[in-house]
Amino acid sequence: MMNRLRLARKIIQWLLLAVAVFLLITGLGITYYGAVETISFGLLTKNLSHQIHTAPGLWIFFVVLLALHIFLPFIGRKKN
């Protein structure tokens, strides 16, 4: 049981990091679109960055991962 909980925590941590970095990059793609468009070889345009960054599904996923990241350590703790 403890190994599954530890694995779940690691998966949530890495997913949260990936989503946070993705949101950061798309946010920068809105503000500094010239640099981000150049770095992404033209794949992440200003318009696409804005569409991705304001998508409600991505933000809901981020909030759910953040809540799990905050509250999961309290699950499975032994009380002394």
Provide the residue ranges of all domains of the chain, joining segments of one domain with +: 13-71
Q: pLDDT per residue over 7-58, tens digit each?
A: 999 999 999 999 999 999 999 999 999 999 999 999 999 999 999 999 999 9
Average pLDDT over residues 48-69: 94
| End-to-end Cα spacing for the chain | 19
According to DSSP, residue 79 is labeled: P
At 1 the pLDDT is 58
Cα 33 to Cα 14: distance, rounded to the nearest angstrom: 26
Maximum separation of any 2 CA atoms in the chain, in Å: 56
For residue 72, give the DSSP letter: G
Reported as a pLDDT band with limits 50, 70 and 90, residue 59 is: very high
Cα distance between residue 21 and residue 23, in whole Å:
5
Which 3 state secondary structure label does DSSP give 75? coil
